[in-house]
A and B are shown apart, each in its own frame.
Chain A
Amino acid sequence: MSNLILIDETTVSTPANSINFTNVFSADYDTYCIQIVGSSAESSAANNFMEMRLINSSDSVITSTVYEWEYYYARGFSATYLTIGGTARDEFSRLYHDDDALKGFGNMTMWVFNPFQSDSYTFNVQQAAGWGRDGASSQIPIMQKGIGVLKQESSITGYNWFNRNSINIANGTFRTYGLKVD
């Protein structure tokens, strides 16, 4: 039997601006894998993305500027790669996607380290493949490879994805796995 244990699988069937995934992190595991397959937005926009925040043990989404993240960001229309992100952010991660009618899917594999431990910061590494506009007039492939941290010692039990530009998240399957150490 695999040591990678499926904890939660949620498929978005009703578009929503914000989606919570609660009680997925626990004392059972220290390392988690989050896979997002085929996320899309309800409408198209340039630089269309959804963002991730963490949920603490009081079931509150952490919205303060206690996150840092940085992405290496490659775009299909330009040989110029970007790094985006920085310190004092109010989100843990970001995933670019777009309208599914335009095949604007975003897909991501993220590893999350030590979310539940109340004496540790929470870290992630992730990589993503998407199809979006990124300021271009037509759809382009987008690649992200990045890192992030919640610079706060607190017990994290879940996560939230939202769109701050009031564009709903329309589709996507979100899977959370725990990596067991025997």
Chain B
Amino acid sequence: MGLKQIASETVTSSTAYVELIGTTTDDCYMIVVNGYIPTSDAADLRARVLESSTPNTGTNYDRAFMSIRTDTTYSNSSNTNETYYDLTTAIGTSTGEQMNGIMYLYNANDSNEYTYLSAENVQLSHTALLIGNQGSAVFTSNSQVNGIRLYPNTGNIASGTFTLYQIED
């Protein structure tokens, strides 16, 4: 098993979104987010799938996540029929605050199946609270997905490296 880089973008100045395109086989794909910092304090990182490189904005996103955090016991959250995947919890912009994560995409290329995502993320929130959002999500449409858009719910991306890998034989 190996990881083959398909797409990567490093953001060093304010950018509205990043698109990672190239899920063109039936393999599993891995997305690595390294050092994501939003321009706006307490912004989330969201994702939408791309169909023919166009983001799907319909109510097709379901998710179930567990938040591990240092201030209290873990909490669970779930949503159905949203218009995006919500991947994080109010990321901060002060010293050291950022988000990192590993995500996997399944069945993206198969036009007869839903597209699945699993994630394990770690972040320091806008109060410097350590939080890890671990969970999964489903894009509930039988369609061919060729990539993913990552964007903040408010403001822009200030910095970070976003990379798509194909998990291949």
A binds B: yes
Restricting to B1-45, which residues have a CB under 8 Å from any CB of A? 1-5, 8, 10, 32, 34-35
In the bound complex, residues from chain A placing their C-beta under 8 Å from that of B101 are 125
Contact, CB under 8 Å: A3 / B3: yes
The number of residues on chain A lying at the interface, defined by a beta carbon within 8 Å of a beta carbon of chain B, is 37
B77 touches A (CB below 8 Å)? no
In the bound complex, residues from chain B placing their C-beta under 8 Å from that of A127 are 120
In the bound complex, residues from chain B placing their C-beta under 8 Å from that of A179 are 3, 32
Q: Which of B62-70, B78-86, B137-145 binds A? A: B62-70
**A123 touching B122 in the complex, CB below 8 Å, given contacts A72-B74, A83-B74, A153-B95:** yes
In the bound complex, residues from chain B placing their C-beta under 8 Å from that of A42 are none
Min C-beta distance of B114 to chain A, whole Å: 24
In the bound complex, residues from chain A placing their C-beta under 8 Å from that of B134 are 72, 125, 145
Q: How large is the interface on B (under 10, 10 to 19, 20 to 34, 35 or more residues)?
A: 20 to 34
The residue in chain B whose Cβ has the minimal distance to the Cβ of A117 is: B35
B165 touches A (CB below 8 Å)? yes
B130 touches A (CB below 8 Å)? yes
Contact, CB under 8 Å: B96 / A151: yes
Min C-beta distance of B37 to chain A, whole Å: 10
Contact, CB under 8 Å: A114 / B35: yes
B152 touches A (CB below 8 Å)? no
A15 touches B (CB below 8 Å)? no
Contact, CB under 8 Å: B98 / A83: no
Restricting to B92-128, which residues have a CB under 8 Å from any CB of A? 95-96, 98, 100-102, 120-122, 124, 128
In the bound complex, residues from chain B placing their C-beta under 8 Å from that of A123 are 98, 100, 122
A121 to B1, CA, bound (A): 30
Contact, CB under 8 Å: B122 / A68: no
Contact, CB under 8 Å: B5 / A125: no
Which one, A3, A30, A31, A68, contacts B70 given CB within 8 A? A68
Contact, CB under 8 Å: A87 / B70: yes
In the bound complex, residues from chain A placing their C-beta under 8 Å from that of B32 are 31, 179
Restricting to A93-136, which residues have a CB under 8 Å from any CB of B? 111, 113-114, 117, 120-121, 123-125, 127
Contact, CB under 8 Å: B66 / A72: yes
Contact, CB under 8 Å: A113 / B96: no
A147 touches B (CB below 8 Å)? yes
A91 touches B (CB below 8 Å)? no
A79 touches B (CB below 8 Å)? no
A53 to B102, CA, bound (A): 22
A85 touches B (CB below 8 Å)? yes
Contact, CB under 8 Å: A146 / B68: yes
A4 touches B (CB below 8 Å)? yes
A residues sitting closer than 8 Å to B (CB atoms) are 1-4, 30-31, 68-72, 81, 83, 85-87, 111, 113-114, 117, 120-121, 123-125, 127, 145-149, 151, 153, 179-182
With A31-B32, A87-B70 known, 18 other A-B pairs at CB within 8 A are: A2-B2, A30-B35, A31-B100, A68-B130, A69-B70, A70-B70, A72-B134, A120-B96, A125-B121, A125-B134, A127-B120, A146-B132, A149-B96, A149-B122, A149-B124, A179-B3, A182-B5, A182-B8
